[in-house]
Amino acid sequence: MGRLCHPYQLAAGSFFQALFVPYCGLGILTLDRYGAGKHQWNVTVAQVIRYAEVANIVIILYGFIVIFLKTAVLLQYQRIFVPVRNRTFYLTCILMGVNISYSVAFITSAFLQCIPRRKIWMPATPGHCANLGLLTLMSAIINTIFDFATFLLPLFTIWNLQMPPLRKLGVLSVFAFGLFGCVASLMRIPAALKTLHADDLTFHLAKEYGWSLGEVTSGLTCCFLPCLPKLCRHFTGRLKHYYSHKSSGLHSVERANSAALIPAGAKRQRAYFELGVLPHDAVAGQHPRKDEYSVDVRAVS
């Protein structure tokens, strides 16, 4: 697999997939058990407490996912479109640095949303908290800008490639999946605005989670879809090699079996002809006797 993708892209994508599973699992858990998507006054106090605790973990996981996912996408751009260190190469490096720096700041802010952390799910605990709505709103705005910049980055390079127009459109269609991620990031902004001064977090945060899940899924598609043709060719070549080797093995077995079915007399006769020794009066359809040949049969057989 290392030949199909950049090694660093493969590592970043692997970390992303390892985080994506618990991110989806915890989201489903909040929907199933803790009242996500319902109005807060229709949910029990125990559910609200558990929802606030799990929602904070989901927000932190989202920050880590953004680091690895967008780094993998930008590394893919470098591998495909930037064979030398030109302006596009340094632009992708700047975007990676901005993404990592902002995501680390976001993760730290989410982890230290309340001091002490127990106050996140137990509001009566003495301490102080940052505004969760402001944190998610800033995340939505910055990610939207970053997603559009990442989406537009390869389009000019693709359009200037020396290839037929239809093939250009085909390559552009692969990266067009990134547009869904941009739209999902954009739709997070109205959902985050509603959480800015609202107490109904179980209802509004669930909507924001849905759009963020769409953004992450679109990024996953953009990250690994360009590797799909190489992956198909890789496994197709392996299958062809396997079946050709298996077919040659079957032919060898058939030849061995056919050789085993030849009568002993025919084998001796073939040996005479291979040695260039012919009988004096060979009769078609009859096996020659020992005295009909000019050499001793035992020397051959």
Tokens representing residue 105 in the block: 């700041």
Tokens representing residue 8 in the block: 């660093």
How much is the mean pLDDT over the chain?
A: 75
- By CB atoms closer than 10 A (0-12, 13-18, 19+), residue 37 is middle
- pLDDT of the residue at 259: 52
Residues whose CB is less than 8 angstroms from the CB of residue 276 and which lie 6 or more positions away in sequence, other chains included: none
Beta strands in the chain (DSSP E): 114-115, 128-129
Tokens representing residue 157 in the block: 């390079």
Q: What is the mean pLDDT of residues 36-61?
A: 87
Q: Quick: pLDDT tens for 135-163.
A: 888 988 998 999 888 888 877 777 777 77
Q: Is the pLDDT of residue 275 over 50?
A: no
- pLDDT of the residue at 100: 92
- pLDDT of the residue at 272: 46
pLDDT band at 299 (very low <50, low <70, confident <90, very high): very low
Tell me how far apart the alpha carbons of residues 171 and 103 are, in angstroms, rounded to a whole number.
Answer: 30
Nearest alpha carbon to residue 59 among 146, 149, 130:
130
Q: Is the pLDDT of residue 197 over 50?
A: yes
